[in-house]
Amino acid sequence: MLTGESRRGRGGDGLERPTGTREKILAQSLALFNARGLGRVTTAEIAAASGIREGNLQYHFPRKSGLVEALFSAFEVEAETVAGRMPADPAAPEALLAYQRGWFDLIWRYRCIYRDGIAMVEIAPALRPRVHALRARTQALARGVFEAAVRAGRLRIAPDALGRLIDNAWIVSSHWMSHRLQGSTELTQADLDWGFAQVSDLFAPYLVMDNPD
Amino acid sequence: MLTGESRRGRGGDGLERPTGTREKILAQSLALFNARGLGRVTTAEIAAASGIREGNLQYHFPRKSGLVEALFSAFEVEAETVAGRMPADPAAPEALLAYQRGWFDLIWRYRCIYRDGIAMVEIAPALRPRVHALRARTQALARGVFEAAVRAGRLRIAPDALGRLIDNAWIVSSHWMSHRLQGSTELTQADLDWGFAQVSDLFAPYLVMDNPD
DNA sequence: GTCTATATATAGATAGAC
DNA sequence: GTCTATCTATATATAGAC
């Protein structure tokens, strides 16, 4: 249980289907943060969107950083699930694309974490080591998936080059939003598709198109 | 001449060898912004570092955004020079590496622009269209350099794939800092080398190693 | 658990004396 | 051109009544 937050009897991350005030706050926060960025949403707005007063928001989340930490905790759980989802058939042409799609869906739902560069760790510095650790764990899981694709003959790449490719895919996956937001003020489905195509393109030179069987 | 700033008789961007108060302010601001990020440096600190009082800083730059805009203007001029520097021999193995090095040196000197994602355009919204336009101009210039490398037989890539490759190189070049800053609080030379290697790796699959002659 | 009302902190902008 | 002093805005945190 996180420090500085009220404890509740029931579990769940409370982001889908809000069942109480705390859950409602988290759901509304995520929506506002996704739309405008972590640094451009005030606690007053979150309270208003949640249908409560600021004092009550303070009761549930004494600090804005605690709110961000709670959202990150929910993301953390989902990220590890998505990263560890090994394709049934790593040789299938659509396997890696489906894996990437899983990541993009998750990132899109929690895009507030990614849209403003390092804003999250500046608002909630306690998250810095957790961000680092989560990246290490999920990248290791992703590497396992790509190595399976190499063994299945679907991907042709040397082990050290694979490490750099994964790092580049990580950077583009995580920062295409910032890149697009420098020119406009909001993200659309078209931006999402653009980002997906950019990441796909990173893998293109290493994909083996002909089935090796 | 930018609005909202004092006018001076002499020219120059005033970033190297400060010759007056305005130049000193700009040089100190760039150093502080590079070290800690645009959003984590106050006007009070800038005034102190420049050896003047806050009121005097207000005289030269009535708004913090004006300060950021002035720094961006200096960057803008240099960026266009660096992007347009066509290698003497586009077929030479070191030509593209030298071109990339030119960009990295520039980005490193103005790293405050890149280290915090979209922080700059949030502090100075007037820069949004200029960032967009500068990117379009410099990417077009870069494309010209890469197309010369293709014609020289140094790079083997289809025209549409080249566009996506340049976009990916742009994202990695611009955001490897944010990526590294999520785990630590400051950037080192080792980070710079890491970023350079990551971008180089993007081009590796398309490089023709054997001289076609 | 929720509210009202108030306090604190910080940054940035302003007015005017010198 | 530089200073002192003040002001406003915003955001976040606290105390205590209900």
Q: Where are the domains of chain A?
A: 65-206
Least confident of A10-14, A145-149, A170-174, B175-179: A10-14
A137 touches B at CB < 8 Å? no
Neighbours of A185 (CB within 10 A): 12
**CATH, range A65-206:** 1.10.357.10
Q: How far is the CA of A21 from the C1' of D14 (A)?
A: 21
Contacts of B93 (CB under 8 A, 6+ apart): B154
The gap between A188 CA and D18 C1' (Å) is 46
Chain centre to alpha carbon of residue B83? 11
CB contact under 8 A, B175 and A170: no
**How many angstroms separate the CA of A52 from the C1' of C6?**
19
Residues in chain B within 8 Å Cβ distance of A193 = none
CA of A26 to C1' of C2 (A): 18
CA of B63 to C1' of D8 (A): 15
Note the pLDDT of residue B211. 53
Nucleic strand C near CB of residue A53 (< 7 Å): yes
Q: B93-99 — which CB contacts under 8 Å span 24+ positions?
A: B93/B154, B95/B149, B95/B154, B96/B145, B96/B146, B96/B149, B96/B154, B96/B155, B96/B203, B96/B207, B97/B200, B99/B142, B99/B145
* Inter-chain residue contact B197 with A164, CB threshold 8 Å: yes
pLDDT higher than 90, residue A170: yes
| Tally: H helices and E strands in chain B | 10, 0
The closest nt to A58, taking CA to C1', is D13
What whole-number percentage of chain B has pLDDT above 70? 91
Q: pLDDT, tens digit, for every residue of B96-133?
A: 999 999 999 999 999 999 999 999 999 999 999 999 99
CB B5 within 8 A of CB B26: no
> Mind telling me how many Å the CA of B180 is from chain A's nearest CA?
9
Q: How confident is the model at residue A13 (pLDDT cuts 50, 70, 90)?
A: low
B145-177: pLDDT as tens digits = 999 999 999 999 999 999 999 999 999 999 999
Helix A21-36 with A64-83: angle, nearest 10 deg: 80
B204 touches chain A (CB under 8 A): yes
The token pair that represents A201 in the structure block:
């393109």
Six-digit token string for A118: 């390092």
> Which nucleotide lies nearest residue B7, CA to C1'?
D1
pLDDT, position B19: 77
Q: Do B198 and A39 touch (CB under 8 A)?
A: no
Q: Which of B38, B156, B168 to mutate to test the interface with A (most CBs of A within 10 A)?
A: B168
Give the one of B39, B161, B182 whose C-beta lies nearest to A121's C-beta: B182
- Confidence band for A4, pLDDT divided at 50, 70 and 90: very low
Domain range B69-206, CATH class = mainly alpha
CB under 8 Å to B189, separation ≥6 — which residues? Answer: none
User: pLDDT by residue (tens digit) across A64-105?
Assistant: 999 999 999 999 999 999 999 999 999 998 999 999 999 999
**Pair A76, A2: CB distance under 8 Å:** no
Residue A6: CB less than 7 A from any atom in strand C: yes
Q: Which bases of chain D are contacted by protein, using any atom under 7 A from a CB?
A: 1-5, 10-16
Calculate the angstrom distance between C1' of D14 and CA of A18: 28
**Which residues 71-90 of A are in CB contact (within 8 Å) with B?**
none
Q: Could A182 and B122 be called an inter-chain contact, meaning their C-beta atoms sit closer than 8 Å?
A: no
| pLDDT tens string B132-142 | 999 999 999 99
Chain B hits for A185, Cβ within 8 Å = 128
Give the residue on A whose Cα is nearest the Cα of B124.
A182
Which among B167, B175, B182 has the least Cβ separation from residue A131?
B182
**Considering only CA atoms, which of B207, B117, B112 is closest in space to residue A182?**
B117
Q: Could you tell me the two tokens for B189? A: 């030379």
Please state, in angstroms and rounded to a whole number, the distance separating the CA atoms of residues A10 and A6: 12
Q: Do A172 and B172 touch (CB under 8 A)?
A: yes
